[in-house]
Amino acid sequence: MSQFKFSVGPWNVASGADVYGPATRKEIPMEEKIKMFAKLGFDAVQFHDDDAVPAINDLSEEEIKAEARKLKKTLDKYGLKAEFVAPRLWMDPHCVDGGFTSNSAKDREFAMWRAYRSIDIAKELGCSLIVLWLAREGTLCAESKSACVATKRLVEAIDKMLDYDPTIRVAIEPKPNEPVDRSFCGTMGHVMGVSAATKDPSRVGGLLESAHAVLAGLDPANEMGFALAFDKLYSVHLNDQNGLKFDQDRSFGAENLRQAFNQIKILKENGFGTHGEYIGLDVKAMRTTPDAAAYDHLTNSLNVVKALEAKVDRYDYDFERKCIAERNYEALEMYVLNLIMGLC
Ligand code: XLS
Ligand code: MG
């Protein structure tokens, strides 16, 4: 039995298309996914604004809220909550050069419109968290934007969201690159800096995705610990990543079990979840996966989280203290490896 509540996004069950080739699995309708998420043991669903309300740009503000209310009924039907809503700016033709930090004032205005609509949708879905994965808030041509101006624009955009609704909280999901070459908000350190500069830092925190930390050359558990130290880890996206290459969203633990263990360890040690936070998965099935196995990467990731929770429960903190007192980190390291390998 896990001590955590789990969430997942509808984009985590996809057709297998990538930038080099077409779909390999059939598309699954939203309600079918939601039903399956409930069956697999998830507690909540994460949404982009246009997952929740398709063709959002073509609808009026009232129509958008009405669509969101329909989705809320579907969630209620299967006993699931909504965890967050995230504006999917990077897919939109208005945001070719970014949203909140675009060089075009008109496009920055559009990005705000989508951010406000995401807040409206979140309220209809009964959640208060807005996630900002700042996909194109950066540059392909380094000289095309100033990191200084862009950072100020980002703070300004978040301030406007905080003003728009005093009950929402914003979690920035940092990533150092891809699809841009250099992003403006690449790590939890950047997120904490931006949070501190907003008008209400108590409502601005972070969402740490394991793969994004690895892409920044950092340890995901350390990034989580950094945000936890400021009570600002609002959510996590557990997954895995094999080194510095394209964003892989591998199943949790598939590449680095020790790193995965340390993520669960730091979350448990610091009571993550006791303020209603979810453990979110942001994992992708391999393109080779057949239709019949379209949800297996989710089940596998959940099982790895639970197995590692059991390892943390058995973790010998007395032995850890002894090793630390004797500065015998060789012994501590071998103990951890033995625990993970099932040798103790
Ligand atoms: C993509 C991001 C995305 C966010 C939500 O890499 O992880 O899925 O989590 O917008
Ligand atoms: Mg993510």
CA distance 135 to 294: 26
Please tell me if the CB atom of residue 51 comes closer than 6 angstroms to any atom of ligand 1: no
Which atom of ligand 1 approaches the CA of 48 most closely?
Answer: 10
- Whether residue 182 is predicted with pLDDT greater than 90 in this model: the reply is yes
Taking only the tens place, the pLDDT of each residue in 257-277 is 999 999 999 999 999 999 999
What pLDDT is attached to residue 251?
A: 98
| Pair (229, 319) in one structural domain | no
| Pair (242, 332) in one structural domain | no
CA angle 131, 114, 17 (to 5 degrees): 70
Taking only the tens place, the pLDDT of each residue in 90-117 is 999 999 999 999 999 999 999 999 999 9
CA-nearest residue, atom 1 of ligand 1: 133
| Pair (223, 319) in one structural domain | no
Contacts of 33 (CB under 8 A, 6+ apart): 10, 13
Peptide linkage before 22 cis (omega within 30 of 0)? no
CATH assignment at residue 21: 3.20.20.150
| Pair (302, 330) in one structural domain | no
Cα–Cα nearest to 197, from 235, 153, 227: 153
Bridge partners of residue 141, in order along the sequence:
none
List residues with catalytic annotation. 48, 51
Here the tokens at position 114 are 């989508």
| Pair (306, 184) in one structural domain | yes
CA-nearest residue, atom 4 of ligand 1: 133
What pLDDT is attached to residue 1?
A: 82
| Pair (15, 68) in one structural domain | yes
| Pair (198, 328) in one structural domain | no
Which amino acid is located at 179 in the chain? P
Please tell me if the CB atom of residue 49 comes closer than 6 angstroms to any atom of ligand 1: no
Which atom of ligand 1 approaches the CA of 11 most closely?
Answer: 8
CA distance 214 to 254: 14
Please tell me if the CB atom of residue 247 comes closer than 6 angstroms to any atom of ligand 1: yes
Here the tokens at position 235 are 């959510």
CA-nearest residue, atom 3 of ligand 1: 133
Please tell me if the CB atom of residue 203 comes closer than 6 angstroms to any atom of ligand 1: no
* Pairing status of strand 204-209 against strand 6-8: unpaired
| Pair (99, 22) in one structural domain | yes
Taking only the tens place, the pLDDT of each residue in 34-87 is 999 999 999 999 999 999 999 999 999 999 999 999 999 999 999 999 999 999
Cβ distance 240 to 211 under 8 Å?
yes
Q: Whole domain around residue 156: which residue ranges?
A: 5-313
Count CB-CB contacts under 10 A for residue 230: 15
Ligand nearest the Cα atom of residue 131 = 1
How many separate domains does the chain show? Answer: 2
